[in-house]
Amino acid sequence: MPAPPLGSEPAIVRATGIPPAYDKPPACPQQAEGLCNHAQVNKNDLRKALHLGLGRAILYAQHHDMREFRDVILDACLHCHAYDIQIEGTRASYMHDLVGFLPDKDFYHAEVLKSLAEGGDDWDASQRFHFAACLAFHGNEAARQAMYDHYNPGPRMGDHIGVDFLKLDGIEGLLFAADKLGGRLTTGPDVIEEGWLLSQSLEICGEQATWNALREAGATNPMIERYRLRAEEEHRLRAPQPGQRIAIVPPRYRDLLSDIPMNNAYLYTKWGEIATEGELELAAKGLIAAKNSTEQLAHLRIFARRRFPLDVHPLLSLADVEEDRVGFAAVRALTRVIDPAVRELAFRLVNSRAAWRGGAISLLTENYELGDHRIVLGWFKQEEQDEERHSMGLGLIDFWKRHRDEETEVLMMRSLYENGPCSFCRENAVDRLIELRALPDEFRAECAWDANDDIRDLVKTS
């Protein structure tokens, strides 16, 4: 199916009146100029900024020769380096903005379009298609055609990538993606992940227009009809029925392990939330008596959001178990326990560089002592591993909410902005700094170009 003819404006604008998310925010020339007068950065500096999605990389590109960084920039165009991709999304529009300021931007555009032919069924492929969509939104017909020529949806990301066609060409884009996805369903009916494309079409184009288009096209196109039938079934299963009520009746503890598979983390945590105190105590005794790591892990999940009611030492003994991430679940359960031994564990985890040290700050939230603000901030600053730093960052936010301290809060939020690997956590820091009237001008200038669109919006409206 060929690409639809290039229109005067993207379909999402024609359908909703909303400009595409790829539009660039207004520049901040005075602040940007001041920020970019610092010393020449090296490749590691730029690589870190690009991976974090910090706007300073774009500001730097506006005022400096970037030719020596071509390999770093190209890598960030072709590969998605976001830390928590499910929440943050890809870096495509961010990298499109940066490349747009480079005199050799055509090189990067050509490399991204060439990479579409390589296929792939991961977040890197999604970022490349989304980058191409950014180009197409700005009138690049070659990008549009390359997207249509090389879309071969895989089971993981095919549905997600299909949304780019919808946003680019509305109903026509939806039908193109549906045809391709329907073809995939004939070869792997039970493996393809779907639902995002349909939900976006229902939101952008409207329910009636979406279903009418799928039914009409499906009448003559068996691939689209196959997609429509699957989409209707999935939509029906997800949508609550009129008057439907779901009563959750938790099993008694004695039946828990036989009624709920032990690998179902959500249901064990949910059971712990709604269990009576008596049932919770039985579960605590069951944890102590657990015979293997599978049983231990299932029991520990019960106490993810409820306080362990018995002596803390059985939990402490599990904190060092690395098998099946038992130690991680034990530390999580211990964050709800008030006991001097839990405080000692927090310091031991950090000082020994233990596997679950990312939860150390959360352990101190319930076991707070005067002076802990600077201690936990030091732990966060010194941590080098992204996963542990992200866990500590989440712990920092909760720690300061529970134990307000004006003297160190601005320091904490600035450190979270600079060092947190997740742009969603960075958004929390920016929001709080704005509330405190403590967002530095250089941060504000960067935020106008951040990879997180919500951060861009924050500084526009503050």
The pLDDT of residue 247 is 45
* % of the chain with per-residue pLDDT over 90: 79
The pLDDT of residue 235 is 77
Tokens of 189: 């009916």
pLDDT band at residue 5 using 50, 70 and 90 as cut-offs: low
Tokens of 414: 């600035």
The more confidently predicted of residues 377 and 10 is 377
Tokens of 196: 């995002």
The pLDDT of residue 354 is 94
Q: How far apart are CA 355 and CA 347, in angstroms?
A: 13
Mean per-residue pLDDT, 247-258:
80
Least confident range from 18-22, 164-168, 210-214: namely 18-22
Report the phi/psi class of residue 398: left, alpha or beta, with left for phi > 0 and alpha for psi in -120 to 50: alpha
Neighbours of 122 (CB within 10 A): 13
Q: Per-residue pLDDT for 22 more than 70? A: no
Q: Taking a C-beta distance cutoff of 8 angstroms, is the pair 403, 377 a contact?
A: no
| Residue range 205-244, pLDDT digits in tens | 999 999 999 999 999 999 999 999 988 888 777 665 555 4
pLDDT band at residue 195 using 50, 70 and 90 as cut-offs: confident
Q: How far apart are CA 338 and CA 286, in angstroms?
A: 21
Least confident range from 39-43, 109-113, 210-214, 379-383: namely 39-43
pLDDT band at residue 193 using 50, 70 and 90 as cut-offs: low
Q: How far apart are CA 275 and CA 423, in angstroms?
A: 36
Mean per-residue pLDDT, 368-373:
96
For CA atoms 115, 119, 125, 129, the dihedral sign is positive
Question: Model's pTM, two decimal places?
Answer: 0.85
